[in-house]
Amino acid sequence: KNQVEQSPQSLIILEGKNCTLQCNYTVSPFSNLRWYKQDTGRGPVSLTIMTFSENTKSNGRYTATLDADTKQSSLHITASQLSDSASYICVVRGFGNDYKLSFGAGTTVTVRA
Amino acid sequence: GAGVSQTPSNKVTEKGKYVELRCDPISGHTALYWYRQSLGQGPEFLIYFQGTGAADDSGLPNDRFFAVRPEGSVSTLKIQRTERGDSAVYLCASSSGNGPYNEQFFGPGTRLTVL
């Protein structure tokens, strides 16, 4: 069973609108959580990293939140642009096997003009 | 500076053939990882190198899959007797270390199609 679940699977939004993506995980003990953006035909690129003590972190129009107690994270995209169309993948790293990442299946975001 | 590069970008082969996929990591990165990504899924771990040695190959699905990194830089993923189920995007990533906060930088992937 995947230890990282993302929702929704996909969404379509109009340019300029906001959206929020969800990530629930069961990885324990927890080290950190990253949100990656993967453009079509490209490798994933890290947007944010959060440790258990951080509740929110921003990178431009991207804001990630983390609730380590409920094991939930969200990625909020503000004032979406056409270039935000991509797959957004939640990736959780635990302790012990430091190099092994647990990947969600991703949320595909399509921004339309 | 140059990121992680992978060649070829696309590979089409016939069932039963042998293929090699190449990864050039970021210069100086000691850790290198191979992942496989099926359509609509997140990447799945295959193997991890620290330097020249495979520190963990537990993700390789069977003995048809093998990877090397002879000089601690470029790595090659080798697949023997390819099957249609091997069709996927194979991603390579590298990092400066294997600590929990070392970011893995991904290449663009090689899309393998087995006919």
Interface residue A37 vs chain B (CB under 8 A): no
> Quick check: B45 and A101 CB within 8 A?
yes
pLDDT for res A86: 97
Closest CA to B112 of B79, B93, B88, B95: B88
Average pLDDT over residues B95-113: 92
Place of tokens 């990282």: A4
Does B1 have pLDDT greater than 60?
Answer: no
Distance CA B112, CA A104 (A): 22
Closest CA to A37 of A100, A79, A91, A80: A91
Interface residue A50 vs chain B (CB under 8 A): no
Nearest to B98 among A4, A99, A105 (CB): A99
> Quick check: B56 and A95 CB within 8 A?
no
pLDDT for res A1: 63
The burial class, CB within 10 Å (0-12 / 13-18 / 19+), for B92 is buried
Confidence at A96, pLDDT banded by 50, 70, 90: confident
The distance of A68 to chain B (nearest Cα, Å) reads: 17
Mean pLDDT of chain B: 95
pLDDT for res B99: 85
pLDDT for res A29: 86
Average pLDDT over residues A87-91: 96
> Quick check: B42 and A98 CB within 8 A?
no
Does B60 have pLDDT greater than 70?
Answer: yes
Closest CA to B58 of B34, B30, B82, B31: B34
pLDDT for res A84: 98
- Dump pLDDT digits (tens) for A2-48: 799 999 999 999 999 999 999 999 998 889 999 999 999 899 999 99
> Quick check: B43 and A44 CB within 8 A?
yes
Instruction: Characterise A94 by phi-psi region: left (phi > 0), alpha (psi -120 to 50), beta (else).
Output: beta
pLDDT for res A97: 66
Place of tokens 């890290």: A46
User: What is the CB-side half-sphere exposure of residue A63 using CA atoms within 13 A?
Assistant: 10
Does B108 have pLDDT greater than 70?
Answer: yes
Average pLDDT over residues B22-46: 94
Distance CA B111, CA B6 (A): 10
Average pLDDT over residues B43-70: 95
Distance CA A62, CA A93 (A): 20
The distance of A46 to chain B (nearest Cα, Å) reads: 8
pLDDT for res B98: 83
Nearest to B107 among A9, A43, A103 (CB): A43
Buried b (16+ CB within 10 A) or exposed e, A61-74: ebbbbbebeebebb
